[in-house]
Amino acid sequence: MTEQIDIAAIRKEFTILNQSIRGKRLCYLDNAATTQKPQFVIQKINNCLTNEYAAVARGVHYLSQNISAEYEAVRGQVAKFINAKNPREIVFTSGTTAGLNLLAYSLSELLLKRDGAILITAMEHHANLIPWQMAARRYGRELRVLPISANGELDLTNFEKILDGVKIFACTHASNLLGTINNIKELNHIAKSKGAVTVFDGAQAIAHNCVDVREIDCDFYVFSGHKIYAPTGVGVLYGRGELLEQMPPFLTGGAMISTVRFENTEFAEYPQKFEAGTPPVIEVIGLGAALEWIEKRGGIEKFAAYENALRAEFEAELNKLDGIKIHGNSANKTALTSWTMKNIHPHDVGTILDDCGIAVRVGHHCAEPLTKLLQVPATIRASFAIYNNSEDIKQLIEGIKTVQRFFDY
Ligand SMILES: *Cc1c(COP(=O)(O)O)cnc(C)c1O
């Protein structure tokens, strides 16, 4: 499975992995929370700060013009990465949370003033739940929740009926707790045929799926840079041009205007209309570097195949142990596994694994209502990236056995 990508060479690019934690080999399996950064990205940022830094779109001087061109080039690069028709349909945000809040504000203002319900699903991250809850409350609209089935997939039995009167359908591409990858092309088609505007949360899917927004034909697709080898503080909001054109701005201030009087302001065209304030130029350039690095190392499709094989390898080993319950058993899963262990609290598991040098996530994964549905206090989650290998899996399985011995299984 490593024929196509030289994983050992890739690991060397992630200097942080080359250290001991509590005297043990570091086994980093918290990639669904955030990924580590390759030297290629770190050096690009370092070079930018050392030699190129200035404010974007604010000066006639050389440094400002130069960095503004780089910033805009990344917009084009992102558009290509997700196959958007026009780079103008790429809005830079500070992350998925910021993008979804922007939509819950601006799109709701455009669509929900008179009527209309919002539909989300039972597997949403809080970032794709609370902003819509607030919007529903603001306009006095109904917030509906599409249920899930026992294996952790969306239950589409009554989907069309539930869509009656829905103006906004907001749904995750992949669940950060269950791992389920939703068939968003099909969901999009049905939702749009019923007249809803579609919003997809790609925070989890972007690093493991080739995303083609034109093929999906969605209205909005949102993700963060930091889960795809780029720095924190930058995110992407893809939006269909016609809708971005009509939507009111979210944040207001500098850089998003064309003319300002004390009485009134004319806004800039999109995407600038949605990029108020000094933009996160270092972070955007870091995102560009991350996308370039992924391409250089084989591309998302190859990354996904490798990471998914790791997940399958891990789940096969995990299933050999007693008292394990894996949450999320869809045939179409992204590179993460959530599980619980009989009579052992996930936080105890996390603590003992940490002692073994292993970084996993324990908790409700910002999806508390879903955790309640699963009837567990929390889960343990291991999530894979391109620098993980079979040694990580061995170390994790050994760690889990240590937990079991400790609790006298
Ligand atoms: C991480 C995550 C978010 C939030 O992303 P931020 O970068 O924290 O804004 C939203 N949705 C899903 C599915 C996620 O995994």
Report the predicted TM-score, pTM, of the whole model to 2 decimal places. 0.96
What the block records as the tokens of 374 is 């699963």
Strand segments (E) across 101-165: 117-121, 143-146
Atom of ligand 1 nearest to the CA of 99: 9
Counting ligand 1 atoms within 8 A of each CB, the residue from 92, 93, 96 with the most, and so the one to mutate, is: 96
Identify how many contiguous H helices and E strands the chain contains and give both numbers. 14, 17
Mean pLDDT for all residues in the chain: 95
Task: Say how many CA atoms lie within 13 Å of 246 toward its Cβ.
Answer: 9
Residue nearest to atom 12 of ligand 1 (CA): 203
With a CB cutoff of 8 Å and minimum separation 6, the contacts of 194 are: 160, 163, 164, 166
Pocket test for ligand 1, best of 30, 97, 182 (most atoms within 8 A of CB): 97
Q: Where are the beta strands (DSSP E) in 253-374?
A: 257-260, 265-267, 324-327, 336-341, 358-359, 361-363
Retrieve residue 1's tokens: 């499975």
CA of 170 to the centre of ligand 1 (A): 14
CATH number of 7-30+299-406: 3.90.1150.10
List, for residues 269-307, the tens digit of each pLDDT value.
Answer: 999 999 999 999 999 999 999 999 999 999 999 999 999
CA 37, distance to chain mean position in Å, is 16
Q: Which residues line ligand 1 (CB under 6 A)?
A: 95-97, 125, 127-128, 172, 176, 201, 203-204, 224, 226
Q: Where are the domains of the chain?
A: 7-30+299-406, 42-296
Say what the pLDDT of residue 392 is: 98
Say what the pLDDT of residue 3 is. 54
Give the CA angle between residues 214, 70, 45 to the nearest 5°.
Answer: 105
Ligand 1 atom with the smallest distance to the CA of 96 is 9
Q: How far does the centroid of ligand 1 lie from the alpha carbon of residue 127, in Å?
A: 7
Residues of the chain with confidence (pLDDT) below 70 = 1-3, 409
Centroid of ligand 1 to alpha carbon of 75 (angstroms): 21
Catalytic residue IDs: 366
Q: What is the pLDDT of residues 233-275, one digit of tens each?
A: 999 999 999 999 999 999 998 888 888 888 888 899 999 999 9
| Residue that is written with structure tokens 């949403």 in the block | 124
Give the closest residue (by CA) to ligand 1 atom 3.
Answer: 203
- What residue has token string 């591409």? 173
* Distance from residue 169's CA to the centre of ligand 1 (Å): 18
The alpha carbon of 204 and the centre of ligand 1 are apart by a number of angstroms equal to 7
CATH class (in words) of the domain with range 42-296:
alpha beta
- CATH topology agreement for domains 7-30+299-406 and 42-296: no
What does the pLDDT read at residue 1? 46
| Gap between the Cα atoms of 53 and 240, Å rounded | 31
- Checking DSSP bridges between strand 143-146 and strand 117-121, what pairing results, if any? parallel
